[in-house]
C-alpha cells in the first residue's frame, strides 16, 4: 500500500494559500503608487515575466524547481494579465463596488470573477477526462 504524505499536502496548500496575498498586495501597491497608464504597461510586462517563468519551469530539472518556477510565474501571470484585465473591464463596464455602510467590501473586479466559472469548468473537464499531466491532484481525480 502506498504511503500517504498528508503533511506534504497540507504544507503545499498553506504555501499556496499564503503566497496568493503577495499578488494582491503587489496589485494594490501598483494601483496606489502608479499612474493608470504606467499600471497597464507594468501589468503587461508582469504577466509576460510570469509566462516566461512558467515556460522556464517546464524545462528545468527537478520537481521542486519546477514547482517554484510555476508557483511564482503563475502568480505574476495571474496578477499581471488576469487580475488587471478584470480591473480594466470592471472600470470599462462601469461596475460599482459592493458597499456596506458607505465602505467598500468588494472591489468591482471581484464582482465579475464569477462570470469565469463556466470557462474554468470547461478547462477542468478537459484536464480530467482528456489529458495526461504531472498534477497529482488532477491525476487523482482521473483515477476516481
Q: What angle do CA 117, 122, 127 make, to 5 degrees?
A: 125
- Per-domain residue ranges of the chain: 6-97, 112-144
Using one digit for the tens of pLDDT, what is the confidence trace for 9-64?
Answer: 888 889 989 998 998 899 889 999 999 899 999 999 999 999 999 999 999 999 88
User: Cell for 107?
Assistant: 472591489
Would you state the pLDDT for residue 54? 96
Higher-pLDDT residue of 61 and 5 is: 61
Would you state the pLDDT for residue 46? 96
11: left (phi over 0), alpha (psi -120 to 50) or beta: alpha
**Is the pLDDT score of 1 beyond 60?**
no
103-106 and 98-100: which strand pairing? antiparallel
Q: How far apart are CA 35 and CA 70, in angstroms?
A: 29
Give the chain's mean pLDDT. Answer: 90
Using one digit for the tens of pLDDT, what is the confidence trace for 72-89?
Answer: 999 999 999 998 999 999
Amino acid at each position: 500500500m502506498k504511503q500517504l504524505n498528508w503533511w506534504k499536502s497540507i504544507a503545499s496548500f498553506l504555501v499556496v494559500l499564503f503566497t496568493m496575498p503577495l499578488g494582491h498586495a503587489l496589485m494594490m501597491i501598483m494601483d496606489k503608487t502608479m499612474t493608470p497608464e504606467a499600471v497597464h504597461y507594468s501589468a503587461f510586462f508582469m504577466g509576460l515575466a510570469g509566462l516566461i517563468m512558467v515556460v522556464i519551469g517546464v524545462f528545468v530539472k527537478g520537481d521542486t524547481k519546477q514547482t517554484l518556477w510555476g508557483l511564482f510565474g503563475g502568480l505574476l501571470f495571474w496578477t499581471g494579465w488576469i487580475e488587471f484585465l478584470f480591473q480594466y473591464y470592471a472600470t470599462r463596464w462601469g461596475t460599482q463596488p459592493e458597499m456596506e455602510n458607505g465602505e467598500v467590501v468588494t472591489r468591482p473586479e471581484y464582482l465579475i470573477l464569477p462570470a469565469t466559472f463556466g470557462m474554468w469548468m470547461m478547462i477542468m473537464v478537459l484536464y480530467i477526462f482528456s489529458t495526461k499531466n504531472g498534477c497529482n491532484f488532477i491525476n487523482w481525480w482521473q483515477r476516481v
